[in-house]
Structure 1
Amino acid sequence: MAYLNQTTTYSSLTERLLATTARILDAAAARQAKRSVYRKTFNELAGLGDRDLADLGLHRSQIRRIATEAAYGAN
């Protein structure tokens, strides 16, 4: 019995490389988006005066933690 088993290693390698590249780029975009949320939150809170922060029930020393929680979620 004869049969033909044809596999194209090159195309599967190419597909794997493209898929890996896509995953890397997606992960980088997700990290960039989270970092953007962190920077925006941090800069907005840092721009407030001490009285405005106190009105919100915050202290200046909490800004980094709050920005981290906003971007990356609570730990």
Structure 2
Amino acid sequence: MAHVINSVAPGFNLIARIGGWIESTKEAWALNNEFKRTFAELDGLDNRELADIGVRRSDIADIARLHVYGH
């Protein structure tokens, strides 16, 4: 029976986890900024412009969320 031992430098996992956290935080901020920008653009339209594109003002947040996050 063969045994495999993986050895990793003691600090590597912590550094990798911190790096991953930083990257996921940056991505979350970028998505949040995109959501705010999309929401502001739609919210800046008047009711007639919204009606022209078939959007109700109450749906703006849902549309922005779908555009940015896909759900």
* TM-score normalised per structure 1: 0.80
Deviates more, 1:48-57 or 1:13-22: 13-22
Percent of residue pairs bearing the same amino acid type: 32
Please tell me whether Structure 1 or Structure 2 has the larger radius of gyration of its CA atoms. Answer: 1
Alpha-carbon distance between aligned partners in 2 of 1:24 and 1:55, rounded to the nearest angstrom: 42
RMSD (Å) for aligned C-alpha atoms = 1.4
Alignment partner of 1:24 is 2:21: yes
Alpha-carbon distance between aligned partners in 2 of 1:13 and 1:46, rounded to the nearest angstrom: 51
Q: Which residue matches 2:51? A: 54
Alpha-carbon distance between aligned partners in 1 of 2:29 and 2:10, rounded to the nearest angstrom: 28
Structure 2: tracts of 5 or more residues without a match: 1-6
Structure 1 outlier segments of 4+, above 2 Å:
none
* TM-score normalised per structure 2: 0.84
More helix by percentage:
1
Alpha-carbon distance, 1:13 to partner: 2.2
Spell out, residue by residue over 1:21-60, the C-alpha distance to the aligned partner (whole angstroms, 9 max, x if none).
1100011011111101100000000010000001111110
Q: Which amino acid aligns with 1:27?
A: S
